[in-house]
Amino acid sequence: MRLIAENLGGERGGDMVFSGIDFALEDGQSLVVTGPNGAGKSTLLRVIAGLLPVAEGSVRIEGGGEAFPSIASACHYLGHQNAMKPALSVAENLHFWRDFNGDGDVGVEEALETVGLGGIGHLPFGYLSTGQRRRAAIAKLLVSHRPLWLLDEPTAGLDKASEARFAGLMGKHRGEGGIVVAATHLPLGLDGAKELRMGE
Amino acid sequence: MLALFLRDIRLNIRAGGGALTGVIFFLAVIATIPFGVGPDLKLLARIGPAILWIGALLSCLLGLDRLFQADREDGSLDLLVLGNDRHMLALTVLIKCLAHWAGSVLPLVIAAPLLGLFMNMEPAAIGATALTLLVGTPAITFIGAAGAAVAVALPRGGLLISVLVLPLTIPVLIFGVSASYGATANPDPFLQPFLILAALTLFLAVLGPVSAALALRHGTD
> Cα dihedral sign for A95, A97, A101, A104?
negative
pLDDT recorded at residue B84: 87
In order along its 221 residues, chain B shows pLDDT tens digits of 889 999 998 888 886 667 788 899 999 999 999 999 988 999 999 999 999 999 999 999 888 888 898 899 899 999 999 988 888 999 999 999 999 999 999 999 999 999 999 899 999 999 999 999 999 999 999 999 999 999 988 888 888 888 889 999 999 999 999 999 998 887 888 999 999 999 999 999 999 999 999 999 888 76
Which residues of chain B lie closer than 8 angstroms to A95, CB-CB? Answer: 3
Longest alpha-carbon distance in chain B: 59
Picking from A68, A78, A85, A92 by the largest number of B CB atoms within 10 A of its own CB, the best residue to mutate is A85
CB within 8 Å: B10 and A83:
no
CB within 8 Å: B83 and A100:
yes
Which residues of chain A lie closer than 8 angstroms to B11, CB-CB? Answer: 85, 87-88
Cβ(B151)–Cβ(B89) below 8 Å = no
Among B3, B15, B17, the residue with its CB nearest the CB of A99 is B3
Which residues of chain A lie closer than 8 angstroms to B73, CB-CB? Answer: 81
Q: What are phi and psi of B156, to 5 degrees?
A: -120, 65
pLDDT recorded at residue B16: 63
pTM of the model: 0.92
pLDDT tens-place string over residues A162-171: 999 999 999 9
Higher pLDDT, B17 or A157: A157
A83 at interface of B, judged by CB pairs closer than 8 A: yes
pLDDT recorded at residue B153: 84
Those of residues 136-165 in A touching chain B at CB distance below 8 A are: none
**How far apart, in whole angstroms, are the C-alpha atoms of residue B14 and residue B17?**
6
Can you list the alpha helix ranges (DSSP code H) found in B14-75? 19-37, 41-62, 66-73
pLDDT recorded at residue B175: 95
Among A50, A73, A81, the residue with its CB nearest the CB of B74 is A81
> Cα dihedral sign for A183, A188, A194, A196?
positive
Cβ(B105)–Cβ(B145) below 8 Å = no
Q: How many domains does chain A have?
A: 1
**How far apart, in whole angstroms, are the C-alpha atoms of residue A195 and residue A186?**
13
- Average pLDDT over all residues of chain A: 90
pLDDT tens-place string over residues A34-63: 999 888 899 999 999 999 999 999 999 998
Which residues of chain A lie closer than 8 angstroms to B75, CB-CB? Answer: 79-83
Going by C-beta distance under 8 Å and a sequence separation of 6 or more, which residues neighbour residue A199? A18, A35, A36, A38, A39, A40
Residue of chain A whose Cα is closest to the Cα of B79: A77
Provide the 8-state DSSP code for B221: -
A89 at interface of B, judged by CB pairs closer than 8 A: no
pLDDT recorded at residue B220: 73
Among A75-79, A104-108, B113-117, the range scoring the smallest mean pLDDT is: A104-108
Residues forming a β-bridge with A148? A75, A179
CB within 8 Å: B81 and A51:
yes
CB within 8 Å: A101 and B86:
yes
Quote ipTM for the complex.
Answer: 0.91
Q: What is the nearest CA distance from B160 to chain A, expressed in angstroms?
A: 22
Among B73, B76, B220, the residue with its CB nearest the CB of A51 is B220
**How far apart, in whole angstroms, are the C-alpha atoms of residue A183 and residue A19?**
17
Picking from B81, B82, B89, B152 by the largest number of A CB atoms within 10 A of its own CB, the best residue to mutate is B82
Q: What is the nearest CA distance from A89 to chain B, expressed in angstroms?
A: 11
Give a three-class secondary structure readout of chain A.
Answer: CEEEEEEEEEEECCEEEEEEEEEEECCCCEEEEECCCCCCHHHHHHHHHCCCCCCEEEEEEECCCCCCCCHHHHEEEECCCCCCCCCCEHHHHHHHHHHHHCCCCCCHHHHHHHCCCCCCCCCEHHHCCHHHHHHHHHHHHHHCCCCEEEEECCCCCCCHHHHHHHHHHHHHHHHCCCEEEEECCCCCCCCCCEEEECCC
Beta-strand pair A75-78/A56-62: unpaired
A82 at interface of B, judged by CB pairs closer than 8 A: yes
Cβ(A20)–Cβ(A199) below 8 Å = no
For residue A148, CA distances in Å to A113, B40, B87, B156, B218 come to 22, 69, 19, 36, 23
Among the listed residues B62, B60, B65, the one whose alpha carbon sits nearest the alpha carbon of residue B152? B65
Residue of chain A whose Cα is closest to the Cα of B13: A87
CB within 8 Å: A82 and B74:
yes
pLDDT recorded at residue B77: 93
Structural domain for B188, as ranges: 2-219
A96 at interface of B, judged by CB pairs closer than 8 A: yes
CB within 8 Å: A85 and B3:
no
**How far apart, in whole angstroms, are the C-alpha atoms of residue A34 and residue A47?**
16
**How far apart, in whole angstroms, are the C-alpha atoms of residue A155 and residue A137?**
11
CB pairs under 8 A between A and B: 73
Number of H helices, E strands in chain B: 10, 0
Structural domain for A48, as ranges: 2-197
CB within 8 Å: A81 and B75:
yes
Q: What are phi and psi of A76, to 5 degrees?
A: -100, 125
Beta-strand pair A56-62/A2-12: antiparallel
